[in-house]
């Protein structure tokens, strides 16, 4: 299977024996249980993708690389949103799940691709317990065309009506910027790119990168 994974996509197919010798034992154990890896923003050689392995403990995170040809399955944050499995979660009263149920129809109205990331997205996509009652709701919104700061503020106001802590990342063609940062007053904002963070005045125009 040959695909072009994006940050936050979940990939299946990386096996424990493919990790380098210095990889921690918990990472090998996780992959032995068919746990998916998460695409991360980092440079990778042609034919490879940078990924992260999640362990059972919050501090267990390991950076690795995976061959594109080894991907057996890919689930994007947008696919998690479309599937709507949070509606059948056994603990619908968790703030993140309440917020997701409240926001989903409003986000659908934006006519932009949105998705669920973070621990909740991981759990909904894989069926592996990862979220907890205090988990944040992490969302991504693909915005191929510029979103004005006033529009960003209106979106923040929408999120503020929902319970719990919500972190929404705007995915531009060049990287990701936090919605709340773009909705602020700073002249430059932090854009997360494949080659590291950049300070930019416009996340949709990389020629304005700060020196």
| Active-site residue list | 136, 138
Instruction: Give the span between the Cα atoms of 27 and 136, in whole angstroms.
Output: 24
Residue 147 corresponds to which tokens in the numbers above? 């979103």
Which strand ranges, in their side-by-side order, compose the sheet holding 61-67? 61-67, 48-54, 37-39, 10-12, 73-75
Question: What is the DSSP pairing of strand 73-75 with strand 61-67?
Answer: unpaired
Q: What is the largest CA-CA distance in the chain?
A: 50
The two counts, helices (H) then strands (E), for the chain are 6, 11
Contact 185, 156 (CB under 8 A): no
d(CA 17, CA 14) in angstroms, rounded, equals: 9
């Amino acid at each position: 299977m040959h695909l072009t994974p994006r940050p936050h996509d979940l990939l299946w197919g990386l096996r424990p024996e493919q990790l380098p010798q210095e990889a921690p034992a918990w990472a090998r154990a996780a992959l032995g249980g068919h746990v998916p890896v998460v695409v991360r923003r980092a440079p990778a050689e042609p034919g490879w993708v940078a990924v992260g392995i999640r362990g059972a403990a919050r501090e267990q995170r390991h950076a690795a690389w995976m061959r594109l040809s080894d991907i057996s399955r890919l689930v994007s944050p947008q696919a998690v949103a479309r599937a709507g499995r949070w509606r059948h979660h056994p603990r619908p009263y968790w703030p993140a799940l309440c917020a997701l149920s409240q926001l989903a129809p409003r986000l659908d109205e934006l006519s932009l691709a949105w998705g669920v990331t973070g621990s909740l997205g991981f759990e909904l996509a894989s069926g592996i317990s990862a979220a907890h009652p205090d988990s944040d709701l992490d969302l991504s919104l693909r915005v191929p065309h510029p979103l004005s700061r006033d529009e960003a503020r209106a979106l923040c106001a929408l999120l503020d009506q929902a319970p719990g802590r919500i972190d929404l990342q705007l995915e531009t063609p060049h990287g990701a910027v936090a919605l709340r940062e773009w909705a602020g007053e700073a002249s430059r904002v932090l854009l997360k790119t494949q080659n590291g963070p950049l300070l930019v005045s416009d996340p949709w125009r990389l020629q304005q990168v700060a020196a």
